[in-house]
Amino acid sequence: MLKEGELRIPSGCAISGIIDKEGKKFNGDEIIKSIALMHDRSNGLGGGFAAYGIYPQYKDFYALHIFYDNLSIKVQTEDFISKHFDIEIAGNIPTKPVPGVKNKPLIWRYFVHPRNYMIKEGFVDEAEFTSRYIIKINKEYKGAYVFSSGKNMGTFKGVGYPEDIGKFFMLDTYEGYMWMAHGRFPTNTPGWWGGAHPFTMLDWSVVHNGEISSYDANRRFVEMYGYKCTLQTDTEVITYLFDMLVRKHNIPMEKAIKAVAAPFWEDIERENKEVQSELKSIRSVYASALINGPFSIILGFEKGMIALNDRIKLRSLVAAEKGSRTYVASEESAIRIICDNPHKIWSPQGGG
Distance CA 96, CA 4 (A): 41
- What are the residue ranges of helices labelled H in the chain? 29-37, 71-84, 116-122, 126-140, 162-168, 215-223, 236-242, 253-260, 265-268, 273-285, 332-336
Terminal CA-to-CA distance of the chain, rounded, Å?
40
Catalytic residue among 1, 10, 12, 13: 13
HSE of 16, CA atoms in CB hemisphere, 13 A: 32
CA dihedral 39, 40, 43, 49 (to 10 degrees): -30
Distance CA 207, CA 219 (A): 17
Closest to 319 in 3D by CA, of 310, 309, 332? 332
Q: Is 132 exposed, middle or buried (0-12, 13-18, 19+ CB in 10 A)?
A: middle
Distance CA 297, CA 238 (A): 9
**Is 13 among the catalytic positions?**
yes
Is 284 in contact with 294 (CB distance < 8 Å)? Answer: no
Active-site positions?
13
